[in-house]
Each structure stands twice: as structure tokens, then as C-alpha cells.
Amino acid sequence: MKHKMTYRLTGYFSAVLLLFSVIAGVLFWALFTWHTTEIHEEELKSRAVSIADTLSRLSPRKNKGPGMSGGYGAYLQFMDDIAMSEVWLADENAQTLQMCQKNTSLSYQDLPSGAEDLIKQVFEGNVVTNREFSPVLDVPCITVGAPVYDTKGTVTEAVLLHSPVAGISNAQHDGVLILVFCILTGLLLAFFLSVLLVRHFINPLKCMGMAAEKVMQGDYSARTEVVQDDEIGYLACNMDELFGQLANVEEERKRLDQMRQDFVSNISHELRTPVTVIRGSLEVLEQGMITDPGEMQEYFHQLLQDTEQLQRLVNDLLELSRLQIPNFQIEKTELNLTDMIKEAIRSMRQIARNKRVEIQLENEIGTICFQGDYGRLRQMFVIILDNAVKFSPPDGRVAVNICRKQNKYQISVSDCGKGILPEDVPYVFDRFYRERSEQNKSGSGLGLSIAKQIADRHNITIECESNGVDHTAFSFIFEPDACRTDDTLN
């Protein structure tokens, strides 16, 4: 079973070669036979015509001299040797055939009808070929007839040149033997070459199959290790790339599973704390352990704060879940980004005033028209401004700067708080990441994640940088093609 494809391809390839060889052999045999016969007949015709021309010049009817008559007779005596075939002379009037070397005669009545027709065509001045004399000669032969002319151009005799077919058959037999030898040799070589060729294709396929089995078993590091500059090599390269993508997908799946577990763990912790506090306070109040009105008021106030924090956490979770849904649509309209930032600053000024924090706006561009969701973008900037005010020290300053940087627009919000440690900067946009400090005790750890999702939905790049001491800045970077500007400064 392991080499089933090898046997099958080798068998198919050999069968095709054998069929081709048989067809080529039959065609070769037919063409070779026809061509050999044609060449032999043309040669016989040439010899017959040459003999007829010689007899025409030496004929005693043309030359009455005794020398010429003797030459004619001698030529007739040795004609079979000269022609290298058996030669007959046919006389039309006497209707006899003279066998030159045997010096005997044969009557027309002893000939087949087809042989007599050949003689008639020769006396009409034609050079004719047929095989009708074979019964008379007792062997298969080819007969060529050529006319002998006198001085007046009249046909006086017919030269019949006979050649056995055995010579042609021997030549054909030798040709067929050579053909069969070449075909068998070619088939043998083709068989070994086909095996090598099939191995060349099968071995890479086996490597790809083994690599696929390893991947199916969970080993995504498997590779085909096939390097060929052909279609199989291209397929192997694509499979290696696919295995690499599967490895990345598996790593991403593990990461998402870990994130899901962390999320469940974090959300359980975040929900457990306020629920536990609320339950504990309610149990104390329900058992009547607190009777002092002032102390009871403090419990009610704490319950309200914990409930608000729990509500805020649930709302943030729902908001983040909606933003993370791929097909969740946000309504984009053309808006004045500059005015929206100013409104977000105004809504945060009361909170900033309570902490004696000043929010300053520096606009180097002017009015910016942008396509986006007004409410979501305002929420994004409010989240960043709220964090900046929250972590700024009293009498601190939050700077909002709108400028052009490297052919892009940039809106940055910076504060002079204690900063974020460099090793924590890459994780500030993760869910439930938050600063564990008194300043952030009411935070849910989801604000920056929500801001990041809103920025991604608007093709805005949000970045964070901090020196970890007294400076933190969040920057929003977007392409000029997404907006229009008015160079009139506000």
C-alpha cells in the first residue's frame, strides 16, 4: 500500500509507452515495406529501361552487320548476369517469351491473364510493373516490363525483368528486427526512467504527507523540507506557510484562552469585592447591629458608592463587549473635531477645578472636520482627560496639543503626574489593567481598553509614552485624508 501510487504511475507510464511503441512499430513497418518496395521497383524499372535501350541499339533489325548481330547475341547470353535478375524477351507476333540464359521459350497460353495484360501494355510503349508472373516462376516476384524500339520507333520486343520478393522480405525482416530491438531497448530505458521520475514526484509527496500528519497530531512546527523549483516545490512552500499560519493561529488561540481565563478571573475579582462589601453591610444592617443614625448613614453612603462602582463596572463591560464585536456598527458623520475636544475639556474642567488642575489647549492647525461618531470620540477623549486629571498632583497642569507631525495630525494629552513604569506601558490598554493607588481606587480598569477600541474603529492610532517619574502623554495620530482643515487659528 505504501508504494501503490508508484506502481500505478509506473504501470500507466509503461502502458502508454508500449501502446505508443506498437503504433509506431506498425506505422514504421507499413511505411518501411512500402518504401522498400517502391525503391526496389524503381531500381528494377531503371535496369529494365537500361536493358531495353541497349537492346534497341544492338537489335539485328537496326544493324545488319554481322558484328552487331554477334554483339546482340552475346548481350542476350549474359543479360541475366548483367541485370542480376532473370530476364525474358517477349515477341508480340510469335507470342512467345524467350528466357535468355536458359535459351528456352514459353508460350503466351502458359501465362496468367494478368501477365499477358502486362505484355500488351509494354507493347503500347509503357513501363509496367506487376506480380502476375509469380505462378509461372514458382516464387513470389516483381516483374517489370520495358519496350524495345526499332529505328522507326516501333516496339519490337518487350523486356521482362523478374526479381524475387524474397530479397525485399529479407530487407523488411531485418528492418523489423532492428525496430523491435530499438522498441524493447527504449521500453527498458523508459521503464527505469519512469521509476526514477515517479520517485522524484512520490518522495516529496510522502514528505508533505508526513508533515501533514504531524500537524494533525498538534505539532505545528513540522515542515515539509521540500525544496524544488517546480509546482510540487510551490505546493510544499505553500504548505509550509500554511503550517506556519496554523502555528500562529494556535498561539493566538492559546493567548485568547489565557486572556479569557484572566478575564473571567479578573471580572470575578472585580465583581466579588463590591458584592462582598454590599452583602456584609446589608447583613450588619439587617441584624440590627447598627442603631446609631450617623453610623447607619455611613453604611448607606458606602452601599451607594459600592453600588455605583458595580454599575460602572457592568456598564464598562457592556460597552467594551459591544465595541469588540466585529459587525458592531458605529454611526459616522462629519463633525468638527476641534469643537468636540473643546467640549470634552469643558466637561472635565469642574473635576479638574476641584483638584486645582489646569487644562490648557494649544491648537496649531485650526478647525478639523472629521468623519466619525461624535459620542464615541467624545467618550474617548473624556476617558484620557479623566485619567490625566486623576493622576495629576494638585496645582498641576494637563496640556492638550493639536498639531501636524510627519505629514499626520496628532492630538496629545499630557500630564505631570508620577508617570507609568516603562515595563507597564505596553499593557496600559489591556482590560482590567489599572494603577493600584488611592487616586484610582474607583477605576474599573476598562477605560483605556474602551478608548483603544473607539480609536481603532476610527482608524486612529493611540500611543502612550511615559518617563515613569513626572510625565505621561497619550497621543492620537490619524491621516490627513480622514479630515479637512481650516488654517484659521482659534
| Fold held by 231-323 | Helix Hairpins (1.10.287)
Q: How far apart are CA 215 and CA 150, in angstroms?
A: 99
Q: Sign of the C-alpha dihedral, residues 135, 140, 146, 150?
A: negative
Which cell numbers in the block locate residue 179? 525496430
Phi and psi at 199, nearest 5°, equal -60, -35
Maximum CA pair distance of the chain? 176
Contacting residues for 267 by C-beta, under 8 A, at least 6 apart: 317, 432
pLDDT, position 60 = 57
100 neighbors 87 (Cβ within 8 angstroms): yes
Q: How far apart are CA 302 and CA 132, in angstroms?
A: 133
Vertex 220: Cα angle to 215 and 224 (nearest 5): 70
| Crossing angle of helices 447-457 and 374-391, rounded to 10° | 140
pLDDT, position 62 = 47
Q: Which residue has the cell 502486362?
A: 118
Complete DSSP assignment for 311-340 = HHHHHHHHHHHHHH-TT-----EEEEHHHH
Which cell numbers in the block locate residue 381? 477623549
pLDDT, position 102 = 58
Q: How far apart are CA 128 and CA 116, in angstroms?
A: 12
285 neighbors 296 (Cβ within 8 angstroms): yes
Range 164-186 burial, b when 16+ CB lie within 10 A, else e: bbeebeebbeebeeebeeebeee
Range 225-263 burial, b when 16+ CB lie within 10 A, else e: ebeeeeebeebbeebbeebeeeeeeeeeeeeeeeeeeee
pLDDT, position 79 = 60
pLDDT, position 488 = 38
Vertex 104: Cα angle to 101 and 109 (nearest 5): 130
383 neighbors 375 (Cβ within 8 angstroms): no
The closest of 130, 136, 129 to 97, measured between CA atoms, is 136
Q: Where are the domains of the chain?
A: 4-170, 231-323, 330-486
| Fold held by 330-486 | Heat Shock Protein 90 (3.30.565)
Query: Given its phi and psi angles, is residue 474 left (phi above 0), alpha (psi -120 to 50 degrees) or beta?
Result: beta
Tell me the average confidence (pLDDT) per consecutive run of 10 residues in the chain, 490 residues long: 63 76 77 75 80 74 44 58 68 67 64 76 83 69 83 81 70 73 78 74 80 84 80 84 86 77 67 75 79 81 78 71 68 85 86 86 82 85 88 88 85 85 79 54 67 86 84 85 47
Give the SS3 label for residue 283: helix
Element (H, E) at 477: strand 472-478
187 neighbors 14 (Cβ within 8 angstroms): yes
Residue ranges in 84-164 assigned as alpha helix (H):
113-123, 134-137
Q: How far apart are CA 482 and CA 468, in angstroms?
A: 33
Q: Cα 475 from chain centroid?
A: 44
Please state whether the predicted TM-score (pTM) of the whole model is above 0.75.
Answer: no
Give the SS3 label for residue 392: coil
| Fold held by 4-170 | Beta-Lactamase (3.30.450)
